[in-house]
A = this chain, B = another copy of it.
Amino acid sequence: MALSEFSLIQQYFSSLGNAPGVVLGVGDDCAVLTVPEGEQLVATVDTLVSGVHFPVDASAGDIAHRALRVNLSDIAAMGAKPCWFTLALTLPEARESWLHEFSLALADDASMFGCALVGGDTTAGPLSISIQMVGTVPAGKALTRGGAQAGDSIYVTGSLGEGAAALCLFDESGESVAIDNDDARECLLQRFYRPEPRLQYGLKLRELSSAALDISDGLIADLGHIADSSGLGADVELNRLPIAPWLAALVEPPRVLAWALSGGDDYELCFTVPEENLPAVELLIKRGELSASCIGKMSEQHGVRCIDNNGQLVETSTTGYQHF
């Protein structure tokens, strides 16, 4: 089958382009977009390469979900609303069944999260998906990494370690821990392929949080980015890390701790809260409008430190996921 780029984009992706502000979608040299008055843009890009960021036998639908959601997670971390994305799709061959499944999954998530595909490029080559996502945020309100103050409380949303645990399922070297529990495997696969972009949390935290990011490289590494950007350090209390009981039951505690601290791929938000906003954040948590746990405090002393039950400093690896 030889599908030209033009008919391929028309056939599979032109229906994903409806959203407010899209004056002209896929099919011209560029999309034309209207930005709401008083809003700034936020922009991010993430690439997934077959065999590097997902197993070579991953389904087209799973790949689509993950590719879109890791970008949405960056938008969430800025306290922004997703609007438009472009897709650069590199494929070994234009197989119709693959494209059909991929575009349906992408359309599902685009519709669920309220963003439109406005541009695409398909090329022949080793399978790789690059999505560039643009969102909007009221001018001056974007949540950055650099606004934390010493004494601010550090929170993370949801639970940690599942993203890293999921990677064990794909490790064929046999060096990773074996996960035999079928329910756990299913949960971890879901967590890996459909990470939940914390968009609603980001919007709520925009007025309450002093700094935020999403945890993609591991808590220690990513919290280190907040600390560095804010000219500060951080103290993390290990016994306050949110780890799901079912995950803790799977393996030995040191392994779970390593997953939670430096495994990466969790796509939860890590954010800091000034003392005056703590009541509001705790109220959101109490009401069930925000799932988040306080895990420590920002400090004047540079570096990220981990502290155990007895208040003792614990030596941990400080490097997150290394891309090379």
Contact = CB atoms under 8 A, between A and B. Distances in A.
B323 A29 contact: no
A80 B30 CA distance: 10
B4 A52 contact: no
Interface string A71-91: 000110110100010111011
A214 interface: yes
A32 B40 contact: yes
A122 B80 CA distance: 23
Interface string A120-133: 11111110101010
Contact of A32 (B78, B93, B128, B214): B78
A190 interface: no
Interface stretch (A41-49, A245-253, A300-308): A41-49
Contacts of A229: 27-28
Most buried by B among A29, A75, A320: A29
Contacts of A52: 123-125
Given A4-B322, A49-B90, A30 B77 contact: yes
Contact of A4 (B86, B123, B324): B324
Contacts of A29: 44, 74-75, 77-78, 145, 213-214
Interface stretch (A102-110, A136-144, A282-290): A136-144
Given A90-B128, A124-B324, A144-B24, A31 B49 contact: no
A90 B47 CA distance: 8
Contacts of A1: 324
Contacts of A84: 43
Nearest to A212: B29
A121 B323 CA distance: 10
Most buried by B among A1, A77, A78, A125: A125
A225 B27 CA distance: 9
B130 A47 contact: yes
A264 to B, nearest CB: 11
11 contacts: A29-B74, A30-B75, A31-B41, A31-B42, A31-B43, A44-B86, A45-B86, A52-B125, A93-B324, A124-B323, A125-B128
Q: Which 5 A-B pairs have the closest CB atoms?
A: A49-B125, A30-B42, A132-B132, A29-B77, A88-B130
Interface of A: 1-6, 8, 23-24, 27-35, 37, 40-53, 74-75, 77-78, 80, 84, 86-88, 90-91, 93-94, 118-126, 128, 130, 132, 134-135, 137, 139, 142, 144-146, 213-214, 217, 225, 229, 319-320, 322-324
